[in-house]
Structure 1
């Protein structure tokens, strides 16, 4: 070990050279008599004599430095000029230039090191010597030498650090391996939403399979501690990345209640990473109050506790997305309004477009009576089966007799997003024959009560009417169109540039369905007109009144739906301006396309405070992009900022779903801080195969924590006992 340390030291200091210039300390030792004012030469001790002699045995003049000044004066010149030194004959040298000697590929051919400061320089007067020293200190070659030495020093430190780390890892190889296995086991428990109490049996299983895991870090408490340690380090890594980069970012928040009846605020940060925009889970915070001011204060305090200051938010926060709750989006006291007042008046606030799409559909259901009646009928079916497992089993038997599978009937147009409503309508459409057979059987079953039989008879009569199937087909066509839009808005890579185009496509499709038949309506119409049946079920033929009602419902339903979607999702701010960046919105005429969107591009740049070299240059790059599809540097930076704007808070909903998988009824006593750490790992962490357990094991041990192979403390484990009756099978 001493030999290795000696090698490192000799490597850092470099090989010894002859006639090495003296340092300022050696110079002061040489001239101590003159500095103290002793004019007469005195007899020197052995140490003083050695201080005036270099490694070759030469001596330095005690009276003249550089041929013209006293050593005490030269010592003052050395202040702030650590590179200034003396040679044996009293000439002045530059240690940096002496050390580098040749610039080589570090500079151009005309630049070279001044040989005078390498060999030593003298002057006839102090002024001339000082001028030469000052000129040399400002010259470019000297500055390059200083930077070369600094780089060499940093590289030497880095190499020494790598050598030291390598030696430490080699010495603690077995400890790291066992500790990494325990940490990886705990990480797998978190990734699979398992209880901390699974750590001991999983450790025991691996030990039975021949894996050496030491004798510590096997308990459920150790599992919790390791996971909180991992979450803390990952959070620090995310915060450091946010602080060291200069890119714009957005914040997404939402509020929900856990199974422990605790109100929590979930926070996501949307920002680019490695060329792709990512939604990072940031924090789950317990709210003491659900007012807008409390939400704003809690959010800012959490950010500042991690070093994300208000000044950073003012310069880099460009988007804030949330749902339409009054505490979030209130005009006067909402969290978004208060955040604008606190941080930036131009902050882009985004009301989740998925929530606005739900509100548009609910507006139509309230306005169109037939749609409201359809919702009440599906709610009746949902209650009939959800409240009686017996009815569900009987429906499955009826479907099995028909050679099909009965799907679960859900609610339509409820508080959940449109994908759920579309799934419920699809289940009703596909299970239609089984439902009709089921209700017909129950209506004729004398063992049922009269009320139940009458109810089943009424449902059967409703479902076999032509106008009900027409309403079902029209609603299914509309929901499938809106589902495609909803699913797009839920995508992680959905941007404001694409959102406006997708909304326009959905609105045009809804308007066209007033006259053009959708896929489901067309299929129903062809089968009913040709066979008077639908999926093998005889349908009651419509009269003129039914046809008029169906035509009126179709016209009013699709017009209302298209108008409400367009009204709710219309945005006059930067989100709407981003549509100009989408090539699908550009005019077909070349002259019109050349100047199209310039004003909106400038609006985006000013609103998002995107730093560009010049506005005319940005417009020029935009025109080249429209003509040739090539993005310049300024336009690319603007596109990066625009892609950071979220269009939905679907990521927050995914976070709450992951939270509900972790915080089950059996774990409802878990603290919010523990839940936050587990949620951070579950959402942001890599899979078990990609998890760097060795790195976290190294950090764990270096912080003074117990390794897996340390001697255990506390009470010994209870010996494993086999139940007496199990001994029969253990033999």
Structure 2
């Protein structure tokens, strides 16, 4: 009976995923739909056990010996067998698809979804191409792969100059004056321009990533790779931790305690299913924030890791935010104010978490910083309304009178 409920859901998921063409954009919907359906069987067992009386009746009519289950037997079956079976199926699905957003990101290669409009096409799938999470373990592979590829262009020049005769022929056919280069000209170009350009690119990449092993060592904060086995967990990332401790020992409160702190962190991750499913960046934010008192040395290492960009995502977010913030109407923002606005926009709390009380407090403090011409001026009143009210308030306070300008009054004058 259990299998008859679950198998159709899994069969439908299997059929949906069995397609010759890769439909990455629907993977998340299909998998999460299957997980939700299977999980609902546990949350609403009455829907799955409604055929139980009919099944029991059919078995009772058979010639073999059959003991009719009591209500207590059914209840024990639900809790000890059915619920555990459902949990096992859900866990299996979640473990098979741990990185659905990454898998869906490959939908960027779907040619049928490329927009017609040029502006939309420029922004098409930008988020899929970028990753905000820190993937330290792949930095070395990516950088060294790029260096090897660029360097090979110098070592195997014939692959890069094979189109040169065709290009020269096309230029020779044009109406403008063109001097066809000789073999000696091509050779000099290779040695004096092309080779030097390749060397400059390689040197630039090597100078930008001088400490790749240290950068890769921050993969010790990846919660998804912590081993299940206790012995393996004890030895996990010991070398990476030692490398970071030696590199940043001057700023650590007590470097000798870093190993014990990391052992506690690994065991905490092993016991906390929620932490196991978080990203490297989120775990480092927790270590550098809520867990900083318990792990003072790891807190500083995590803070350093968060400051090291492992992708262009943050840079791209910065440019996008700048374009959104510094509009034609706000083109006179100075660097200090612009930097503050960008930081709040990119790293500040969500607007949904911004309470009315906090907003009123901030507006009040801003209004009191200095005299501001906030209201519309009227004939015979060269200064702002708030300035006049502040003057009146000072006079009233000196004379022991009532204070006219309250926080609510300020806000009502500003927010119109």
Identify whether the pair has TM-score above 0.5, normalized to the shorter chain: no
TM-score, L = length of structure 2: 0.32
Choose between structure 1 and 2 for higher RCO, CA contacts under 8 A separated by at least 6 residues.
1
Q: Which one has the bigger strand percentage? A: 1
Q: Which one has the bigger helix percentage? A: 2
